[in-house]
Structure 1
């Protein structure tokens, strides 16, 4: 039986922060992915708003910097509409912060800049979610200085010693991750260059970060596969149930 390939749009803020490990997973799971360059493309285009899945990627700017980067307001408007309609949405780092803002929560500078590998603590809801593999203590890549309050009606999934809100879900189809499950260790060399000023300001040793990345490279690839495959399969199941109900 022919299975329809679903459409996904990834909103990208800087070229080197892309889908990474998520790209081959989506291809395998039957998704056609197109990219939208958030700073310059028309975010009101129906192909974005009506996509089966919207993925909002990371970037080195703050949600509150709308005077310097007016397109942020258009992103928030887009997310408000999708989240109000219950349309599948995934936010990563800046994308998670934009989702929180679109849901009415405060986004602000944090007390600690997190850059590097570290584990998370899952909530009860998180342990029952697609993030279950993180309960094993395997590390994720943190790369942020901002944080957000938990939106109303959202469920906290993960925290750590620095930030209470590291991941949340909203409704049945929206997932926000403050950390980078998608980061491909092989491509992080581009991050070290693209974020050179930030790394130097935070006094992060690139050789030490590179060594930690090499240590975890095989683990994080398997982890990303398990988590993203689980979440995408959940979306597919919900979509199939919805289509069956509509056909009756």
Structure 2
């Protein structure tokens, strides 16, 4: 059986809705938390697939999070070998950093369910399944598009919502894995962050209930098609 390694940057941001298509594609899933003692010895090269999930920290907060620098270095080595990598939100930003692009605060806190805007390349990619679907956004950072990467989707405030490089790399700034995971309750406990984005826990809970199942279904189709193409 193939092996997928999920890198968790915080316990409440796991593989969530993407677990189903990854397992259906024949992968056994292992997980490691970046704060666990064993993370320092994690092998990024042997897994058939590495999945990098989100987190509340910024890639540039390296003094506060000493695991960021070695993770970027290990990820860069995997990417240099064109081994399959899927990144979500912070994961997409870590990939950009590993490919040599700066990551920095964006213009606004983009939080809530809203569709992304696909370009021509996006409509010809697995991301096409997200067309017109409100998916979860939860970020305030952005990055320059890495050299050699192909942009797939944008939003009004954030130009780089999805990108890929060849068949092996897919990066999503949004969270189409979220919509049915009970850990969302922990996300909306951050009332101050929600206030900065102009929303609140009740509004987010209602949006989650209304849009979550459709968003996850679309996200699963994206990942299933991407894995098929590897």
Check conservation: 2:188, 2:204, Cα contact below 8 A. no
In the TM superposition, what are the counterparts of 1:1-248 in structure 2 within 5 Å? Answer: 5-43=1-39, 45=41, 47-135=43-131, 137-187=132-182, 188-193=184-189, 195-235=190-230
**Pair 46,57 (structure 1): closer, same or farther in 2 beyond 3 Å:** closer
- The offset of 1:190, in angstroms, is 2.4
Q: What corresponds to 1:242 in structure 2?
A: none
Check conservation: 1:150, 1:165, Cα contact below 8 A. yes
TM-score between both structures, scaled by the size of structure 2: 0.94
**Pair 75,26 (structure 1): closer, same or farther in 2 beyond 3 Å:** same
Check conservation: 1:21, 1:182, Cα contact below 8 A. yes
Q: What corresponds to 1:240 in structure 2?
A: none
1:105-159 CA distance string (max 9 Å, x none): 1110000110101111112111111011122x11111000000010111000100
Q: Distance in 2 between matches of 1:11 and 1:151?
A: 21
TM-score between both structures, scaled by the size of structure 1: 0.87
- The offset of 1:32, in angstroms, is 0.3
Q: Distance in 1 between matches of 2:197 and 2:221?
A: 32
Check conservation: 1:100, 1:106, Cα contact below 8 A. yes
Highest relative contact order (Cα 8 Å, sep 6+), 1 or 2? 2
- The offset of 1:92, in angstroms, is 0.5
Q: Distance in 2 between matches of 1:226 and 1:192?
A: 26
Query: Which protein is bigger by CA-based radius of gyration?
Result: 1
- The offset of 1:76, in angstroms, is 0.4
More helix by share: 1
More moved, 36-45 vs 8-17:
36-45
Structure 2: gaps of 5 or more residues: none
Alignment: residue pair count: 229
